[in-house]
Amino acid sequence: APQVRALPDPMASVTAFLSTPETRVGPQQASAMISQRFPWFGTLDLKEKQALLGAAASRLEVEAKRLQLVTEVRRLAWELAYLDAEEEAVLEDRETLSHFEELARARYASGVGLGQAVVKLQAEITKDDNRILRIDSRRASLVASLNALRDRPAGDPLPTAQLSAAPAIVPPMDPSGLLDVAEMHRPEVRRSRILTEAAGIGIELAEKQYRPDFTLGFGYTLVGSRDDPAGRAMPPPDNGDDIIGLTLGVNLPVRREKLAAGLLEATARESAARDRTRGILAEIERDLGDLSSRLPLTLDQLALFDDLLILQAEEALRSAEAAYASGSQSALDLLDAERVLLEVRIASARARADSLILHARLEGALGAPVEVLLNGDAS
């Protein structure tokens, strides 16, 4: 702000007369002048305020980028945690299938089981191996993306996050309350409103262009003594006295078309800034509506997996193992039960990761932790 609050640089000039003008009190030998331009009243204050608002807007832009970065880092971290959970489930499944394959091989060798069951189990084990390779490939991509956001080498190790260690919090989902919190905390909204205010000051500055600026000057002229015969014979009382003068000038803002165009441009900028604010709020409201509706559904789905489907799948596998041991079911029936349990476990991990990602995105859309909603504090 100091650079716009300060007055324009003063002007200084020096004149040396090659042919000295003669006056009653003597010849003028040289003159010097210094002048200072003063904008219309209040212009510099408005420029300072506009500059301060611009600086605040730049700071909020950095905050908005930081918020986006944190939200994306959290999303990638939970995706990595999901891959760890998926890998754990697949490795456990592979171990179980290897055990089943040994049992099926033993039965086939004794003439009780079918060779088809052994081959089928081996094929499923190979599928698990392929799934582990796909998980490793996706993990490498996510780690590289996370390290790029951290400004670290692509292969740098990352701390691990456990899905089970971070349960999602369900905040109140009142749409108007969510939007109020976002308006209070989102840096994009505050930045846009600050820029709108700065654009309004631009209109005031454009209006002040219709007012003149003032220039105040101080001049000093060096006068020599008279050396002509009359001056030497009867020198005047103020012979050789130097001259001091003050000047006051104003510019004339007569180019009305130019001034009107500047005012029209400033008005258009202010209108565009208001439109941007409305657009940002509409986008935030859309995101909040989407997230506030999807998060409870995802948590309901997670509860269904954890409280019912996983228990049912585990019970079905135990029943299949008992039936296989008694000889009433084949190894293929055992395989089907194990496949169901694996898919349910992976789907449960996916639902938990999705709920945590939605939770992170909701906080990013709010610009504040969900505890703000839980505590009823929007300040």
Could you tell me if 215 and 37 are in contact, meaning their C-beta atoms sit under 8 angstroms apart? yes
Residue 364 has what pLDDT? Answer: 95
Residue 357: pLDDT over 70: yes
At residue 168, the pLDDT reads 61
Local confidence band at 231 (pLDDT 50, 70, 90 cut-offs): low
Q: How far apart are the first and last CA of the chain?
A: 29
Q: How confident is the model at residue 160 (pLDDT cuts 50, 70, 90)?
A: confident
Tell me the per-residue pLDDT of 26-81, one tens digit each, with 9 for 90 and over. Answer: 788 899 999 999 999 999 999 999 999 999 999 999 999 999 999 999 999 999 99
What stretch(es) of the chain map to CATH 1.20.1600.10?
Answer: 2-20+43-154+171-213+251-374
pLDDT at 167 over 70: no
Q: What is the mean pLDDT of residues 1-15?
A: 88
Round the average pLDDT of the chain to a whole number and report it.
Answer: 89
State the SS3 of the chain.
CHHHHCCCCCEEEEEECCCCCEECCEEEEEEEEEEEEECCCCHHHHHHHHHHHHHHHHHHHHHHHHHHHHHHHHHHHHHHHHHHHHHHHHHHHHHHHHHHHHHHHHHHHCCCCCHHHHHHHHHHHHHHHHHHHHHHHHHHHHHHHHHHHCCCCCCCCCCCCCHHHCCCCCCCCCHHHHHHHHHHHCHHHHHHHHHHHHHHHHHHHHHHCCCCCEEEEEEEEEECCCCCHHHHHCCCCCCCCCEEEEEEEECCCCCHHHHHHHHHHHHHHHHHHHHHHHHHHHHHHHHHHHHHHHHHHHHHHHHHHHHHHHHHHHHHHHHHHHHHHHCCCCHHHHHHHHHHHHHHHHHHHHHHHHHHHHHHHHHHHHCCCCHHHHCCCCC
pLDDT above 60 for 224: yes
Question: What confidence score (pLDDT) does residue 227 get?
Answer: 77
Task: Tell me which CATH code domain 2-20+43-154+171-213+251-374 carries.
Answer: 1.20.1600.10
Binned at pLDDT 50, 70 and 90, residue 240 comes out as confident
Type of residue at 177: G
Contact 69, 103 (CB under 8 A): no
Provide the pLDDT for residue 113: 62
Does residue 290 contact residue 365 with C-beta atoms inside 8 Å?
A: no
CA 116, chain centre distance (Å): 57
Average pLDDT, stretch 226-243? 76
- pLDDT for residue 334: 87
pLDDT tier at 170, thresholds 50, 70, 90: low
Q: Is 379 a residue whose pLDDT tops 60?
A: no
